[in-house]
A and B are shown apart, each in its own frame.
Chain A
Amino acid sequence: MIPGDPSKNKRYYHHKDFDKPHHSHSTNSPADVSIQKSGTREIKVIRRVLDVNDKMAEENRELFAEKGIFVLNLMSSPGSGKTTTLEKTLAQIMPEIKSAVIVGDICTTHDADRLAKTGAPVVQINTDEFGGDCHLVAHVIEKAARSLDLDDIDFLVIENVGNLVCPAEFDIGEDSRVVVLSVTEGEDKPVKYPLMFRECEAALLNKIDLLPYLDFDKEKAVTYIHQVHPLMPVFEISSKTEEGFGPWIEWLKNKIREKV
């Protein structure tokens, strides 16, 4: 934990502060038991392992629908520029659309400190101080969302823990998922992490201001993205210079308008 001076519009939670919903959601009763062979019984279960999370995510989705909030789950590997992209995106969107942020990190409140400066209410979730969960789950989002004034928000963006693997597996009740890929990473990230690129609705190809200094093959990256997810919108942006932000902001505003 980094000592700091959390501003008024930022809240801080540690993962362990959240009650696990397991008890209230353990609805399964002893399953059918069949005699398989002498001495061995096979008990049929047939349940998704992530059932509890999926149910909670569905409850979140209902809550957000009732409150008329569009929820975006922003994901990427660490260091691809999620926070800077969010800072710039919120600056362009907030004069028009009431926004809030939930930000997940394993530790520190650095991202929340930065995002709070946009004026949006920010809730920081830390999954663990030393090597905790590598993704956000639905019940953590539920608790974090309840600490926001949901009647005063039209757009909630959730910055997930930097990781291209696990967050793709966990539904948190969002409306849309967007992945950030930066040109300082390999072009082949989409084919190395196909689930993430399958699960997301759009991709942001970030840090394009650095292209002249890199060997990154942009066309190849876009080809890989479309191999995994044909027709996926890819927005080429620089969060530093805000180059290419127009189409991305327009796309996002349309998504928000469709729901709110």
Chain B
Amino acid sequence: MHEMGIALQIVEIATASLPADLGNARVAKLNLKIGKLAAVVPESLRFCFEVAVKDTPLAGAKLAIEEMPVLAKCKDCNAQWTIDEPIFICKTCQSGSLEILSGRELDIESIEVVEEVKNDSG
């Protein structure tokens, strides 16, 4: 529901991370990690991103989303497993004391910039 706000935030962070002078380069791709526990719907975010990049240095950039599984570790018996259904109880020792190792990500990893090939450049 708040994907547009997230998309605008992504564009802002990404724009600030770009070199001041891109020269002939254009932003081709933005790599994003989203945990499955994060309250973000990738499809909605992609849609909003397309709108949010208009008239910015990221115009036309593709949004690549890597979905991160919910990985838990039991604090009592150290068992590690991927949570596929909303049950946060250790399958080995039934403990409810867990550490969530991944699954809450909402991180910009990197931006890929492509140099436009121009014969008269230089």
Contacts and interface: CB of A to CB of B under 8 A. Distances in A.
A42 B12 CA distance: 18
Contacts of B117: 39
Nearest to A48: B107
Given A51-B13, A169-B38, A194-B37, A45 B109 contact: yes
3 pairs of A and B residues whose beta carbons are closest in the complex: A230-B96, A194-B86, A169-B39
Contact of B86 (A165, A169, A228): A228
Interface residues of B, number: 40
27 contacts: A28-B13, A29-B16, A30-B17, A30-B18, A40-B112, A40-B114, A41-B25, A41-B112, A42-B110, A42-B113, A43-B17, A43-B111, A43-B112, A44-B110, A45-B17, A46-B108, A46-B109, A47-B17, A49-B13, A166-B2, A166-B39, A169-B2, A191-B85, A191-B86, A192-B86, A194-B86, A194-B88
Main secondary structure of the interface of B (DSSP, over half): mixed
Contact of A30 (B19, B39, B87, B115): B19
B106 A166 contact: no
A29 B17 CA distance: 6
Interface string A48-62: 111110000000000
A52 B9 contact: yes
B89 A230 contact: yes
Nearest to B2: A166
Interface in A100-145: 133-135
- Chain A interface residue count: which class? 35 or more
B6 interface: yes
B113 A49 contact: no
Given A39-B114, A42-B112, A43-B110, A50 B2 contact: no
A1 interface: no
A165 B40 CA distance: 9
Question: Chain A binding site: helix, strand, loop or mixed by DSSP?
Answer: mixed
A41 B107 contact: no
Contacts of B85: 191
A82 to B, nearest CB: 18
B59 interface: no
Given A36-B112, A230-B88, A135 B17 contact: no
A14 interface: no
Nearest to B40: A169
B106 A40 contact: no
A31 interface: yes
B68 to A, nearest CB: 13
B28 A40 contact: yes
Nearest to B104: A195
A134 B1 contact: yes
B13 A45 contact: yes
Given A28-B17, A227-B88, A231-B96, A135 B110 contact: no
Contact of A165 (B18, B39, B108, B112): B39
A227 B89 contact: yes
Nearest to A46: B109
Interface string A9-33: 0000000000000100010111101
A158 interface: no
Contact of A46 (B10, B97, B107): B107
Contact of A134 (B2, B17, B110): B2
Given A42-B110, A165-B39, A169-B40, 14 more contacts: A28-B16, A29-B16, A41-B113, A43-B18, A45-B108, A49-B9, A49-B10, A52-B9, A133-B5, A169-B2, A169-B106, A195-B37, A198-B37, A228-B87
